[in-house]
Amino acid sequence: MTADFHSAHAYLAFDRLIGKIERAMPGLLPTACGCSPEGVAERLAQRLVECLHRLYIKLMNMRTHGGAGATAREYEIRLATI
């Protein structure tokens, strides 16, 4: 494992990305099924983690070991557009 990639760094980067998304969502979401926009945003963030976490870590590992060639920031942008 190189100095550029460590799972702890990838976890922190992923957490920051999800945090940004989670903070932006309440202002964009309506109340749903009696839940506040904040509650809906929290559940959506949980689902994003379930769906994207493994992929994010895999992409960071591939990037570091020369498999994909993009920077971490480029992956963050790509994941944020999913």
For 34-79, the pLDDT digits (tens) are 888 888 888 888 998 888 888 888 877 777 766 555 566 666 666 6
- Tell me the residue range of the domain where 19 lies: 7-80
Higher pLDDT, 73 or 15: 15
Report d(CA 71, CA 47) in Å as an integer: 25
Which residues are within 8 A (CB) of 9 and not within 5 positions of it... i.e. 6 or more apart?
Answer: 60
Asked if the structure places residue 61 within a domain, the reply is: yes
Q: Greater confidence, 62 or 20?
A: 20
Classify residue 40: in a domain, yes or no. yes
Kindly state whether residue 2 falls inside one of the protein's structural domains: no
Is 42 part of any domain?
yes
20 pLDDT above the threshold of 70: yes
Residue 74, pLDDT score = 65
Domain count, the chain: 1
